[in-house]
């Protein structure tokens, strides 16, 4: 089966979710572009958008239409070439409207899993629950005579577990998009020892056509992205306790750790803000998934447990705005920090001066926006870290130790066989997490 034949009938599971909707959009555009090639006219391309709620599916169809309009406006000149033989389409508005129709026409929204029984391949972006994934994969596999390929968006579950549990015989690969899939350039590709060569080859071709940056990872729970992120969270919790031992309240310690991990480490978000963005519950569950597969370390946080017990979940609203979590937000700005010992939010205005006094004077860190993507970033970062090395304050000490720990985690991912090399770890953090520099560096040597 050729690349185009494989993509003639596809299903996306969890199509109305945050990740599934992005995967649906990218695949719909790729399939529609294939269908509009001269040699494919007359061939039918079907993309099943499968989810449990008709209301959610109606919402994702509205999302698709809006996003396809944006895509069409950006590549209107290329679309003109596609419709070169359509003399009835004259101005750009007509061409764009036709393209939107043709892409939308590929998509079939449905709540019936049976729609996947005819698909050549299945993209999966459902709940991060191995038992649920295995159940659904098995059901499709047993009822689909085409022996479909499965592309799972899992960010933490070993592919071998899913493969063997569902009896797929290597017709599965980890294809981990980063959020949001339509914007993020990174895809982690995870092959199990059983993954068929042709599945792997297709995955790379598909990623190339989507203009994604591919980083391979070995089939070890958490892979590179969450392998670093979860351990980064656990170290941040250690830092919170260090600050509390120095006399800070827990809310002050969380705020100080978030400040250090964002401003002093030149990252786009502080660690607790990132936990809120992903969801406290999601981070906790990823740790739960990873922990049985790790050796000589405990991937579990009692602090996250305590937050969840008190209903602190974070996450995002359907419009993409941030829900309150560890932090309280107003128009995207952090205005308060949750105190799990008092079960209340403490305004930043009440703690900022005390935290800054405890941290002490620190070198002026460069702004993340001034560094990220800057080809001359070394000229900015090296002087900063040189000053940081000689600064004798609590804040500087914690920042140095945090940066060294991040490097240690990255090195551990390579040494333990998760990542192939240092460069892959850095690429994931640079591209998938928008860090200004990779964790494995020599700035503090």
In the structure, what pLDDT confidence band is assigned to residue 136 with cuts at 50, 70 and 90? very high
Residue 57 within any structural domain of the chain:
yes
Same domain for 199 and 229, yes or no, is no
Residue 442 within any structural domain of the chain:
no
Q: Measure the CA–CA gap between 372 and 388, rounded to whole angstroms.
A: 19
Q: Are 393 and 359 in contact (CB under 8 A)?
A: yes
Q: What is the pLDDT of residue 334?
A: 97
**Biggest CA-to-CA distance, the chain:** 75
CATH number, domain of 95, equals: 3.40.50.720
Q: What is the pLDDT of residue 336?
A: 98
Residue 41 within any structural domain of the chain:
yes
Q: What is the pLDDT of residue 162?
A: 98
CATH number, domain of 244, equals: 1.10.1040.10
Same domain for 203 and 316, yes or no, is no
- Residue 321 burial (C-beta neighbours within 10 Å; 0-12, 13-18, 19+): exposed
Same domain for 173 and 259, yes or no, is no
Residue 440 within any structural domain of the chain:
no
In the structure, what pLDDT confidence band is assigned to residue 138 with cuts at 50, 70 and 90? very high
Q: What is the pLDDT of residue 310?
A: 98
Q: Rounded mean pLDDT of 170-194?
A: 96
Same domain for 50 and 163, yes or no, is yes
Same domain for 198 and 261, yes or no, is no
Q: Please, which residues bridge with residue 215 across strands?
A: 188
Same domain for 168 and 270, yes or no, is no
Domain boundary among 201, 217, 233: 217
Q: What is the pLDDT of residue 319?
A: 74
Q: How does pLDDT run across 11-48, given as a tens digit for each residue? A: 999 999 999 999 999 999 999 999 999 888 889 999 99
Domain boundary among 190, 217, 244: 217
CA distances from 214 to 186, 194, 200, 270, 403 (A): 6, 20, 12, 26, 26
Same domain for 100 and 24, yes or no, is yes
Number of folded domains in the chain?
2
Same domain for 173 and 296, yes or no, is no
Domain boundary among 161, 186, 217: 217
Q: Rounded mean pLDDT of 410-423?
A: 97
Tell me: pLDDT of 303 over 90. Answer: yes
Same domain for 104 and 173, yes or no, is yes
Q: What is the pLDDT of residue 87?
A: 87
In the structure, what pLDDT confidence band is assigned to residue 307 with cuts at 50, 70 and 90? very high
Residue 61 within any structural domain of the chain:
yes
In the structure, what pLDDT confidence band is assigned to residue 289 with cuts at 50, 70 and 90? very high
Residue 22 within any structural domain of the chain:
yes
Q: Are 223 and 291 in contact (CB under 8 A)?
A: no
Q: What is the pLDDT of residue 337?
A: 98
In the structure, what pLDDT confidence band is assigned to residue 89 with cuts at 50, 70 and 90? confident
Same domain for 317 and 397, yes or no, is yes
Residue 129 within any structural domain of the chain:
yes
Q: Rounded mean pLDDT of 344-365?
A: 97
Residue 438 within any structural domain of the chain:
no
Determine the structural domain holding residue 27 and report its residue range: 3-217
Q: Measure the CA–CA gap between 258 and 379, rounded to whole angstroms.
A: 26
Same domain for 69 and 92, yes or no, is yes
Query: Is the full-model pTM beyond 0.75?
Result: yes
Q: Rounded mean pLDDT of 273-279?
A: 96
**Among the ranges 79-83, 116-120, 313-317, which has the highest mean pLDDT value?**
116-120
Same domain for 273 and 139, yes or no, is no
């Amino acid at each position: 089966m050729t690349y185009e034949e494989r993509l003639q009938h596809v299903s996306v599971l969890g199509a109305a979710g945050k990740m599934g909707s992005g995967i649906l959009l990218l695949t719909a555009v790729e399939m529609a572009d294939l269908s509009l090639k001269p040699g494919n006219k007359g061939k039918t391309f079907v993309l099943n958008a499968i989810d449990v709620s008709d209301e959610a599916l109606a919402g994702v169809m509205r999302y698709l239409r809006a996003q396809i309009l944006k895509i069409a406006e950006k590549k209107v000149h290329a679309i003109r070439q596609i419709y070169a033989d359509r003399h009835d389409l004259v101005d750009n508005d007509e061409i764009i409207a036709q393209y939107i129709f043709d892409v939308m026409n590929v998509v079939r929204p449905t709540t019936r899993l049976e729609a996947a029984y005819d698909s050549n391949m299945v993209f999966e972006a459902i709940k991060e629950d191995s038992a649920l994934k295995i159940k659904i994969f098995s059901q499709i596999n047993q009822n689909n005579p085409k022996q479909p390929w499965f592309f799972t968006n899992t960010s933490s579950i070993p592919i071998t577990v899913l493969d063997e549990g569902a009896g797929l015989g290597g017709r599965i690969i980890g294809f981990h998009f980063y959020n949001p899939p339509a914007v993020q350039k990174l895809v982690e590709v995870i092959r199990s020892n059983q993954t068929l060569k042709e599945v792997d080859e297709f995955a790379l071709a598909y990623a190339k056509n989507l203009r994604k940056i591919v980083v391979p990872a070995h089939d070890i729970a958490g892979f590179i992205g969450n392998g670093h992120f979860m351990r980064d969270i656990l170290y941040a919790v250690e830092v919170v306790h260090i600050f509390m031992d120095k006399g800070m309240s827990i809310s002050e310690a969380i705020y100080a750790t978030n400040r250090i991990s964002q401003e002093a480490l030149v990252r786009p978000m502080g660690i607790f803000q990132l936990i809120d963005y992903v969801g406290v519950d999601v981070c906790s569950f990823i740790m739960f998934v990873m922990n049985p597969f790790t050796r000589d370390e405990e991937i579990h946080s009692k602090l996250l447990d305590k937050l969840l017990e008190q209903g602190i979940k974070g996450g995002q609203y359907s419009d993409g705005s941030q829900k309150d979590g560890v932090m309280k937000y107003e128009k995207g700005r952090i205005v308060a920090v949750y105190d799990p010992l008092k079960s209340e939010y403490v305004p930043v205005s009440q703690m900022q001066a005390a935290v800054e006094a405890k941290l002490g004077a620190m070198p002026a860190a460069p702004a993340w926006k001034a560094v990220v993507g800057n080809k001359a970033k070394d000229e900015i970062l090296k002087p900063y870290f040189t000053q940081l090395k000689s600064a004798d304050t609590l804040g500087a000490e914690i920042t140095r130790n945090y940066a060294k720990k991040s490097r240690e985690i990255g090195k551990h991912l390579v040494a333990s066989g998760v990542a192939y090399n240092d460069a892959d770890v850095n690429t994931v953090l640079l591209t998938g997490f928008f860090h200004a520099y990779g964790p494995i560096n020599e700035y503090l040597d």
